[in-house]
Chains A and B, each alone.
Chain A
């Protein structure tokens, strides 16, 4: 409800953001789509030609592509599983009264603020390294053979590293949600004769569902794009054991300089992300009305 005057002013103030985001979203995307139909290799000094769906055909029939989808899924699902389950347990723990809540909270949240390249390298060298890593030292101390995490279980190791980064996010959101539980509602249920257990299942769990959904959706968006952690630890290897879609696109385009195939891969990644985003947007959009 406002006057004509302020409505016109409002339009002018929204315009720059809309134009910028529109350009940022549409121009490169259209270019990528265009490239994806070209036979365009930066290292081959011949004019690029129309390739039709060849690039998509090449990409989709490449064995690495199928593997990369599986790896991406493994990372997304693995990390989600660890962070959601771990996050709920941690949030429940931290929601109980104990001494030093503020400090523990800070300790738990800290990994989220560590830049991806740092956490990946620290885990890789200081902990998982089979010679100098902390785990190797512990294994040797116990008289065991050190385990070479990143070559023997590369995907699991990366899942572990990424989960460490995202566990704080899940915990923090679930904890915030727990703390917003209506105290009077809990007391009303107690007056109604609900036991601790039934209060948890009938009140706390439904209340947390929303937060869990938010955690899953938002993490999925970020996890689909995990890049730096792979880049500095395994470079997609050994072989293609840790090559995800994002990483595969990067290899195709900026390592092999095959712009056409890389673009096709990029578009496939966009389509996959959009499927997830569709659900995420509906979820967040619903909350706008509330």
Chain B
């Protein structure tokens, strides 16, 4: 079981209020991703849940019990760190067995569990190696193995993929998602990468400056961003955000159009611009267009579009795909 409830949780370091006040409920079995730019407080929030930091005020409940004052070990959570934090002097097997040893489990049962975890993670042939002899991806798996064997109420991941190269990151993303399907345990995952958030989460929590900007499913956030910040943060390439007369004409302070919701034409359209860079990805083409009065806009076009630097184009937003935001930055329904 792993339902985690945060009630008015605050955290300050001296005069710096890293987390002004957060209320959040994480249901049992959910895969929740905390996402936000660096310094938004997402890691701090995770560490508060882990018990590695004291809360300044507020309560943290795990499975209905107040865990605010419990030391990390007593909370029944497992954590995978950004640096993996493997014990360099222990073999892979000893690393995975360590939490069981700390829990006082007898060696035989612990070994059995570690071996089972290793099998799930394809680590069986590396059990006698030390972390220093493993690749980044393998180390990552050992760190996950160490978390799994504890059968925790919830897993906490602190940017676990940021030290891996792009290809491996894609694989590990899948593996962790699969793991979640298998274990059905609550997972809280911190990342600054909105792609990870979109692809892995059941529920995304977008944070900025210690405040929760929006909570919702990935598609919720994509289709109905609650404010300008979420609109700009979720989705890649970034949503085009426009202000001025065009926005006012639609009864908003800011309007947003995603690059994939922008039609492009060489003859006519709403906005006229000149292509500055065309990024050819094969499947898609990202066009960066300099539009008079609005600066650079990004358009996602098909892979077969034959436009290049210097071409004049016309852009128009697709019907019903324009997001409108008021003067306070909040979305207008």
Contacts and interface: CB of A to CB of B under 8 A. Distances in A.
Contacts of A1: 13, 53
B303 to A, nearest CB: 40
Nearest to A5: B71
Interface string A1-43: 1111100000000000000000000000000000000000000
Contacts, number: 11
A5 B54 CA distance: 9
B41 interface: no
Interface in B52-84: 52-54, 71
A4 B54 CA distance: 7
Contacts of A4: 54
B210 interface: no
B301 to A, nearest CB: 42
Contacts of A5: 71
A3 to B, nearest CB: 5
A24 B52 CA distance: 37
B51 interface: yes
Nearest to B44: A1
Nearest to A7: B54
A2 B13 CA distance: 11
B100 to A, nearest CB: 24
A50 B305 CA distance: 101
Interface residues of B, number: 6
A4 B71 CA distance: 10
Q: Is the interface of B mostly helix, strand, loop or mixed?
A: loop
A286 B53 CA distance: 29
B5 to A, nearest CB: 21
A1 to B, nearest CB: 6
Interface in B170-214: none
A2 B53 CA distance: 6
Nearest to A4: B54
Nearest to A1: B53
Nearest to A6: B71
Contacts of B52: 2-3
Contacts of B71: 3, 5
Contacts of B51: 3
Contacts of B13: 1
A5 B51 CA distance: 11
A118 B152 CA distance: 63
Contacts of B53: 1-3
B23 to A, nearest CB: 23
A4 B72 CA distance: 12
Interface in B11-28: 13
A1 B51 CA distance: 12
A225 B326 CA distance: 76
A3 B54 CA distance: 5
A5 B53 CA distance: 10
A222 B54 CA distance: 46
A3 B48 CA distance: 10
B85 to A, nearest CB: 15
A5 B69 CA distance: 10
A1 B53 CA distance: 7
A4 B56 CA distance: 11
A94 B239 CA distance: 60
B48 to A, nearest CB: 11
Nearest to B51: A3
A183 B71 CA distance: 47
A92 B127 CA distance: 47
A146 B53 CA distance: 75
Interface string A208-222: 000000000000000
A246 B118 CA distance: 66
Contacts of A2: 52-53
A4 B53 CA distance: 9
Nearest to B72: A3
Given A1-B13, A2-B52, A3-B51, 8 more contacts: A1-B53, A2-B53, A3-B52, A3-B53, A3-B54, A3-B71, A4-B54, A5-B71
Question: Which 9 pairs, one residue from A and one from B, show the smallest C-beta to C-beta distance?
Answer: A3-B54, A4-B54, A5-B71, A1-B53, A3-B53, A3-B52, A3-B51, A3-B71, A1-B13
11 contacts: A1-B13, A1-B53, A2-B52, A2-B53, A3-B51, A3-B52, A3-B53, A3-B54, A3-B71, A4-B54, A5-B71
